């Protein structure tokens, strides 16, 4: 039986990566540009997320981020350990580019954060939600957390051009240790 393409959250659950989830999507030419902008190029390891998840620690103080291509023109940053440097998102996109951040922690989903290329926005524009709502992304998955995460992930997939599937975890990327003090917590 094939999986519903809108059921993206279950991939994280299956891999034990759903206890604490932080991921950002950045409009950028390539992932190495983002790694350089993060000031993390000194301590990196080439790997995919399947390999990087060995370092997954939901509540660690060491900040490790896996950075990889999402789709042409988009880069994803998944917090493997510690916190994601989401406060750096406004310095990461190409000029005029967008960035999004989604997190789940201690049973709470934080509504996605959005940088529109010039400034932070309180909310993501309504047109980002139309297609996922029309296709019923908020009805896929269980429990309620799964449905809500699938809805947000679908909106991000339609915007960035790629849904989460098994290949999302096997895309080559870099595991980066963010030096302490580089970005505010």
pLDDT tens by residue, 83-142: 877 777 877 877 788 999 999 987 889 888 888 888 888 777 778 888 888 888 888 887
Residue 3 inside a domain? The answer is no
At residue 78, the pLDDT reads: 94
What is residue 70's predicted lDDT score, i.e. its pLDDT? Answer: 97
Query: Is residue 1's pLDDT more than 60?
Result: no
Any domain includes 1:
no
Task: Report how far residue 95's alpha carbon sits from residue 75's, in angstroms, rounded to the nearest whole number.
Answer: 15
Mean pLDDT for the stretch of residues 17-30: 91
Q: Is residue 183 part of a domain?
A: no
Number of folded domains that form the chain: 1
The pLDDT of 145-151, averaged and rounded, is: 91
Q: Which residues contact 122 (CB under 8 A, 6 or more apart)?
A: none
Confidence of residue 14 (pLDDT cuts 50, 70, 90): very high
- Residue 149 in domain: yes
Residue-number span of the structural domain to which 159 is assigned: 9-177
Closest residue by Cα to residue 86 from 31, 26, 30, 40:
26
pLDDT of residue 61: 82
Please compute, for residue 108, the number of CA atoms within 13 A of its CA located in the half-sphere on the CB side.
Answer: 3
Q: Is residue 59 part of a domain?
A: yes
Give exposure, 97-133, as e/b (b: 16+ Cβ within 10 Å). Answer: bbbbbbbbeeeebeebbbbeeeeeeeebeeebbeebe
The verdict on residue 70 lying in a domain is yes
Please state the φ and ψ torsions of residue 100, each to the nearest 5 degrees: -130, 150
Query: Whole-model pTM?
Result: 0.90
**CA 56 from centre of chain:** 15
The closest alpha carbon to 16, from 141, 152, 139, 169, belongs to 169
- Domain contains 2: no
**Residue 4, in any domain of the structure:** no
């Amino acid at each position: 039986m094939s999986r519903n393409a809108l059921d993206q959250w279950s991939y994280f659950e299956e891999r034990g990566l759903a206890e604490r989830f932080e991921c950002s999507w950045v409009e950028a030419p390539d992932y190495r540009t983002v790694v350089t902008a993060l000031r993390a190029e000194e301590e990196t390891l080439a790997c995919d997320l399947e390999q990087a998840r060995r370092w997954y620690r939901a509540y660690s103080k060491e900040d490790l981020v896996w950075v990889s291509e999402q789709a042409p023109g988009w880069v994803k940053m998944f917090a493997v350990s510690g916190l994601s440097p989401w406060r750096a998102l406004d310095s990461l996109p190409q000029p005029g580019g967008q960035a999004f951040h989604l997190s789940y922690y201690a049973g709470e989903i934080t509504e996605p954060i959005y940088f529109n290329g010039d400034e932070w926005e309180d909310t993501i524009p309504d047109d980002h939600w139309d297609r996922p709502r029309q296709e019923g992304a908020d009805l896929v998955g269980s429990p309620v957390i799964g449905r809500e995460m699938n809805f947000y992930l679908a909106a991000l997939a339609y915007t960035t051009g790629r849904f989460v599937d098994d290949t999302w975890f096997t895309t080559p990327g870099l595991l980066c240790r963010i030096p302490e003090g580089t970005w505010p917590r």
